Structure 1
Amino acid sequence: MPAKIYAPFERFNFSNKNCFLTGEALKTEEEKIQVFPQWLMSQYALEDKPFKLLDETISTYKDLKLPCSAHINDDFLEPLEEEIAAAFEKGYEGLIALDELKLFQWAGKLLYGIIFNEIQSGIRLMHSQGEEFSMSQSILLKFSQLHLMLQSINLPIIFEDFKPFSLFLFKVNNNPEEFGYRDEINTQTLALRIKDFGMVICLQDNASNYYYHKKVYEQIKDDTLHPIQFEEFSGRVFYSNYLFNRLPEYNILPVNEDIYIEEMPLRGLSSKPLFDEWQNKTYGQVLENFWKNWGFLLLEIIKNPEKPVSYLFDEDGNKIAAESISLSL
């Protein structure tokens, strides 16, 4: 008999009485796990730092939690956290040795945890105003599909000859004290820059962004980057995932005890490209945000609208060596 998939978005169940991953009833509402794992918060003293939610309310990293049954945490989530923590401790070399699916599951749990808290906050706000909480059907589908794929942590889910994500890993010459994190929950994009590495992941694009940036990634993936170079590449990926105009859909095929997930063709019936047209001005605005640490303004970035400023490649298209960049880390 195939395992049973939990679909919280069908009944919009986001209470603290049910496990976020399985839906099973919890013994107590105190049965919770941290969204940002304790080992990561401890390393960067994140517990009491502010975390801004989409409705402008301010939480803290330690206050972001997920209802989770003790046995799911003990049997599946804690072993995953331990494996990721051990890999992160080794830095870039530990990261590239990891199974990519584990990184997808870990990053997916983190982003879904933020989504869960955002939804709870939105429900509270709308109920306080006497209104029902709602979200667009496309966002609803995206979030529910991410949750489906997260259940590969605890269920025998097999991705049939495809990767549901794009993953980019780099060695980066970071300030060891810095915790560089950003996400975009609508496009399900996440970037993390700590220790001696940086990673960018698009959680639900069927590797489309990977192929979109493959030429550039192949040129720089074996180099040690300056942080501004990593942030530039991250900005490119965050922007391209915003331009990605398909909503992936999947067939779910139970076979004996396993559940196979099969991708449906992204092109579908549409003849338009998978990505909308790249606009340098909009990209420049993204880059201005990613380069805040270095104080760049939009007008400087797009002084030449045809060629925005780049620290990855010079005007002739040659790679820029990280050691030649004099900006502070």
Structure 2
Amino acid sequence: MAEMLFNPFKDLIFDEHFCFLTGDLTNENMSVFPEWLMDHFNLGNERIEMMDKTKSYKYADLKLPCSARVKDAFEELDTKILAAYNKGYEGMASLDEEQLFQWTGRIVYGLLYYEMVYERNRLQKKDEEFALSMPLRKRFGHFHLMLQSLVEPISFVGKKPWTITVFPLKYSADILSFRDDTINLMFSFGVNGFGFIACLQDNGVIGEKHSEILSKIKGHVLHPVQFEELYASFHYTDYILKQDPQYKVESHDNGINIEIEKTEKPPVFDFWDEDMYAQLLANYWQVYGIEREDILRPQKPRLSFLEDPYTKDFINPESIKLPF
């Protein structure tokens, strides 16, 4: 059955008449970002840039071709997410991780879809072939298969292939912050008293790597500067992670099972480069006027708002004087 499901990365099919999720012929579409989210924050006429910074789209113009059943399924999921969203952290924390994966995956895949279409069209104008490396085809193909769990009988066996962590955050209902990395399938989202970070295909490795700081965070309402630092750490850890995720995909009478291939080799991380990390963190902290030189200080430990650099104690968010 798995072989029968649509995989747009096999033949690089990104066409407005094929449902992005199932490949069914269609003339319908749905927004990349949920309508209620765009309406609440008046995002429709705002613009979002593609990765190469030369192309941007209005949020309201980002549409995915979809079949009626896919549209209905996402509308049902949106209703559940909105109900949880209205309850803030407690509501979001009560959601099943698979629902957060599907909801977040819709946005990340939607942006990835537009990256694919943009790159294909750009190359066609130059009479050049649009191609993706086999590792990327494989990674994106697995991600797309997992996202089809919304409408197909797909089950995740054992350890989940993602890290998703939700925590209380000192954000008002009128402030929205999100970051995405479509190539590495990452997303962060902060609003209405909660934040979450999603690594959509790390096989839980990044969450394990950060288990100590995540345990220290429990019971605290994070300051936004801590949220940005945590995502920067997740993001850079993903960058240095040397792992080619392998999955056992098995079809049976009742559907498809996806299981992480077991390996005796532990995950391998490249050398942590403090200069590179500090530059990434400075990009996230620029709203506070914090620059790379403030993070890497001569003869002093790296600046952190999460842990005291000497004792490694968690820094109480209430002690941070920066605005939020």
TM range (shorter): over 0.9
The Cα shift of 1:133 comes to: 1.1
Asked if the contact 1:65–1:117 (Cα under 8 Å) also holds between the matched residues in 2, the reply is no
Normalised to the residue count of structure 1, the TM-score between the two structures is: 0.94
Structure 1 residues 305 and 47 mapped into 2: Cα distance closer, same or farther (>3 Å)?
farther
Q: Return the match for 2:63 from 60, 65, 68.
A: 65
Rounded Cα–Cα distance in structure 2 between residues aligned with 1:65 and 1:148: 20
Q: Residue in 1 aligned with 2:37?
A: 40
Rounded Cα–Cα distance in structure 2 between residues aligned with 1:280 and 1:304: 13
Rounded Cα–Cα distance in structure 1 between residues aligned with 2:261 and 2:88: 36
Structure 1 residues 2 and 9 mapped into 2: Cα distance closer, same or farther (>3 Å)?
closer
Q: Which amino acid aligns with 2:210?
A: H
Normalised to the residue count of structure 2, the TM-score between the two structures is: 0.95
Q: Residue in 2 aligned with 1:325?
A: 320
Question: 5 Å matches for 1:164-313?
Answer: 164-265=161-262, 273-304=267-298, 307-313=301-307
Q: Residue in 1 aligned with 2:47?
A: 50
SS state at 1:198 partner: strand
Q: Which amino acid aligns with 2:280?
A: V
Runs of 5+ unmatched residues, structure 1: none
The Cα shift of 1:257 comes to: 2.3
Q: Please say if 1:77 is aligned against 2:74.
A: yes
Rounded Cα–Cα distance in structure 2 between residues aligned with 1:113 and 1:233: 25
The Cα shift of 1:35 comes to: 0.3
My pick for the range that moved more, 293-302 or 304-313, is 304-313
Cα deviations by residue, 1:27-63 (Å, 9 ceiling, x for unpaired): x2xx110000100001111111110012320111111
Q: Which amino acid aligns with 2:132?
A: M
Aligned length: 322
RMSD: 1.6
Asked if the contact 2:250–2:256 (Cα under 8 Å) also holds between the matched residues in 1, the reply is yes
Q: Residue in 1 aligned with 2:22?
A: 22
Q: Which amino acid aligns with 1:60?
A: K
Asked if the contact 2:169–2:223 (Cα under 8 Å) also holds between the matched residues in 1, the reply is yes
Asked if the contact 1:2–1:257 (Cα under 8 Å) also holds between the matched residues in 2, the reply is no
The Cα shift of 1:12 comes to: 1.1
Runs of 5+ unmatched residues, structure 2: none
Asked if the contact 2:2–2:249 (Cα under 8 Å) also holds between the matched residues in 1, the reply is no
Asked if the contact 1:267–1:274 (Cα under 8 Å) also holds between the matched residues in 2, the reply is no
SS state at 2:149 partner: coil
My pick for the range that moved more, 309-318 or 91-100, is 309-318
The Cα shift of 1:306 comes to: 6.9
Asked if the contact 1:162–1:206 (Cα under 8 Å) also holds between the matched residues in 2, the reply is yes
Rounded Cα–Cα distance in structure 2 between residues aligned with 1:175 and 1:289: 22
Asked if the contact 1:3–1:156 (Cα under 8 Å) also holds between the matched residues in 2, the reply is no
Runs (4+) off by over 4 Å: none
Cα deviations by residue, 1:109-151 (Å, 9 ceiling, x for unpaired): 1100100011011111111111111222222211111101001
Cα deviations by residue, 1:49-88 (Å, 9 ceiling, x for unpaired): 11001232011111111100123212x1111111111111
Asked if the contact 1:246–1:266 (Cα under 8 Å) also holds between the matched residues in 2, the reply is no
SS state at 2:33 partner: coil
